Amino acid sequence: MTVPQNATQPDSTREIIARCKRETRIRYKSKGDTFFRPRLRGINHLQVGKSKIIDSPLTIMIEWIFDQFRRLRRAWRRFTAGLFPRRPRLPAGHRDSRLVGRIIFAGDRGHGPPIHNLHLEFWGRTFWFAWRKIGEGRTDAEGCFALPFPLRAARRLSIRSLRLEIQKTTRVYFQDDSPHFHFDLFKAIPVVKSDLIGMDYNLRTIPLDYWLYDRGAVTPRALVDDANLGSPETYSRGREDALIEQVIPLEITKIKHLEQIEIAPDTLTIEQIQADYPVNLTCCIENDLPGYTRGDVWFGERMMNGMNRGCFVPDTVRAGHYWMRYFGVCWYDINDLYALPDIGVLFKIKDDGLPIPLEIHLTGRLSRSDHDPFRTRVFSAADGDAWLQAKRVARVTGAFCTEVEEHFAAKHLNAEQYAVAAYRNLRLNPVAGLLLPHLKEVSLINRTADKELIGGYIPTATALTRAGLQQRTRDILGLQDWRGWRPMKAISSAHTCAEAERLFWDVLGEYVDEFFRKHEDGIKGHWGEIQRFADDLVTHSVPVFLTAPRDAPPRDPRYQELAAQRLQYYCQQYGFDPHLPRETIHGELKTVSRITAASTHDAAPPQDWQNLKDACRYAIMQATYMHTWINEHQYDDLGEVRYSCGGLRFGDRPSGIMAPESDNGIAPDLTRSTQMLWFTNFLSRTEYGFITRNEERDVNPLLIHLLQDRREAFADLGVEIDAIESRTNI
């Protein structure tokens, strides 16, 4: 393989790269519905094996009939709603009776915390099905309610049945630049008419399965139990449709490969699998510039501005030199199939501002016969083929860390902890309108990731087991805090990924400031919701990395040293300051800093106002721009099996993973190859819910406006603002 090593790129090379970026850029466009197009029932039906695709004409027909039935049912509901409108007017007369009770989160023994500010309505239905509103109100800070109503109105002869309706916020939409909330029925509790005799009718304590924390999870997660409780939220129809439409061709390709592997594996190769998926960025460049993507220039450029957006730590001695680290198996639970050594890359910044690798340090097992997890081998360009192999190994460990740590832990799990706390507590406070559009659906996609990625594909395609992955993602979440977080610092003018991050962070700063200015009274007036939001965030937060005995590394001093190195490196990578004062709850030093401890704004110190702004800005940043970056670049940097993957196998030779790309003994096997391409394609291609497209009218027009004002500035940094997602939902 010829590898160009020139430090400066000729114009023709730059043109080819630019053309390939253009040609392989993913665009979502609807192909429309055709009757006998294969279908998928929904995102939850996606599987890393063979998803349940509906492709037989008979099943498609049955599915169509069922779909028509559902449409008819919806139309019927709309019709009856029109026929029997629910008029908001309350009955006249002296409100001499009350419906009282208390609503709490369902707990182990029914002693969950109270649910405040839940909207409640008391409705009666007549013998001719008309609705009569009898009373309304909401729960107080202790979850208690007392809905006054005229007893005569409820006991009227015409009333056939009565029920208390508990409403939940399902959607936020923006009208006239202000957030509006859409409520839906969460639970209806029947009230027996003949029991209404005295002043108060007591419904006692009502435990609700409402946005509960999953007690079995090792990180703060919503309880999404399809079998018993259902989901706390559902995907929007548009999101489901977008995914299904894009994923079907990929699904058919994957199923074809899996069946061929079952029946005649010798008839399939990695190259054939690769050719069946869309051409990605590296394949496109390789077609015109063979060997270029394996060269030093491309390696440096992608480590800086690609999916990984690597972290550069200055060398202590040489100016203009930086170290990048990717930590391998560490002390996590592993299998014996895959290698995952630690990586240290020494870069020098060239005159054009891009990094060029000088040395790669691989520490750990590189072959099956290798048993020393702390042996380090150093490679440089003078090592010829071994240098090429070392760069591939670095790419692979880098991709693993980016996917498991940066993508899943620092973006998906991180966003979910804000989502659960927000949905549980923010109802009247305008901050709900600021946060919820950016936090919706993450609990659902994380549930799918539990099954298909953490519990499915990754343990079979990389060195870590499921238990190892759970521990590792919990550890990384122990480094994610809103306080003091800043975007990555650019180390040169070519560090466009850091510059774009800074630009988006500035946009969010302006947006959040303006939102707080406009809604100051509402935010201050409902400060109690902020206190409870903060309480949930802190109480359920994981302990700071390495501080809990159960998360501690082995006692061997070499592991202790590795742990110290990891902490130091991660602090820069994730903008985490371990020295900030944090709360200790039940002996655990909690990672997420407290926004406020005061239940009213008047009682809160001035700093808490800024804390809330900072936390909102941070949560939106992680759930939108930071997640989009990794998600959409997966296809660029993980879309060619031989170039990079989640793990290289040890193989049977003494050389282990230090072997050419053509060695099928170390490359992912055929099953893992098609699954990897399926994953990276569908994760990057099925995005839906973009800020500027605002498909569901839930993005604040001000944010869109601020972003559009900087369209050119983002474009100069290689970022198309129309591709930035408004939420983490894939």
Contacts with Fe ion, residue ranges (CB under 5 A): 631
Query: Min. distance of Cβ 520 from Fe ion in angstroms?
Result: 34
Question: Which single residue is written with the structure tokens 């409705």?
Answer: 123
Which residues neighbour 540 within 8 Å (Cβ) at sequence distance 6 or greater?
Answer: 213, 220, 417, 420, 421
Which residues neighbour 431 within 8 Å (Cβ) at sequence distance 6 or greater?
Answer: 523, 529, 530, 533, 612, 616
In the complex, residue closest to Fe ion by CB = 631
Whether residue 339 contacts residue 392, with contact meaning beta carbons closer than 8 Å, is answered with no
Take residue 114 and report the two structure tokens written for it: 């109270």
Q: Which is nearer to Fe ion, 238 or 554 (CB)?
A: 238
DSSP string, 57-125: HHHHHHHHHHHHHHHHHHHHHHHHHHHS----PPPPS---EEEEEEEEE--TTS-PPB--S-EEEEEEE
| Strand pairing class (338-339; 313-314) | unpaired
CA–CA gap between residue 85 and residue 135 (Å, rounded): 16
Closest C-alpha among 455, 315, 385, 419 to residue 661: 385
Query: Min. distance of Cβ 385 from Fe ion in angstroms?
Result: 35
Q: Which is nearer to Fe ion, 121 or 416 (CB)?
A: 416
CA–CA gap between residue 622 and residue 504 (Å, rounded): 11
Query: Min. distance of Cβ 409 from Fe ion in angstroms?
Result: 11
Closest C-alpha among 694, 641, 634 to residue 306: 634
Query: Min. distance of Cβ 711 from Fe ion in angstroms?
Result: 24
Q: Which is nearer to Fe ion, 492 or 726 (CB)?
A: 726
Report residue 453 CA to chain centroid gap: 13
Take residue 673 and report the two structure tokens written for it: 């190859």
Question: Which single residue is written with the structure tokens 């109802």?
Answer: 427
Query: Min. distance of Cβ 360 from Fe ion in angstroms?
Result: 28
Q: Which is nearer to Fe ion, 389 or 631 (CB)?
A: 631
Q: How many CB atoms neighbour CB 386 within 10 A?
A: 16
Q: Which is nearer to Fe ion, 531 or 631 (CB)?
A: 631
Q: Which is nearer to Fe ion, 622 or 631 (CB)?
A: 631
Q: Which is nearer to Fe ion, 9 or 631 (CB)?
A: 631
Query: Min. distance of Cβ 728 from Fe ion in angstroms?
Result: 6
Q: Which is nearer to Fe ion, 588 or 687 (CB)?
A: 687
- φ, ψ of residue 29 in degrees (nearest 5): -135, 145
Query: Min. distance of Cβ 361 from Fe ion in angstroms?
Result: 30
Query: Min. distance of Cβ 350 from Fe ion in angstroms?
Result: 32
Work out the burial of residue 702: count CB atoms within 10 Å of its CB; fewer than 13 is exposed, 13-18 middle, 19 or more buried: middle
Q: Which is nearer to Fe ion, 289 or 410 (CB)?
A: 410
Which residues neighbour 704 within 8 Å (Cβ) at sequence distance 6 or greater?
Answer: 691, 692, 694
Take residue 556 and report the two structure tokens written for it: 């061997």
Query: Min. distance of Cβ 412 from Fe ion in angstroms?
Result: 6
Query: Min. distance of Cβ 324 from Fe ion in angstroms?
Result: 23
Q: Which is nearer to Fe ion, 409 or 498 (CB)?
A: 409
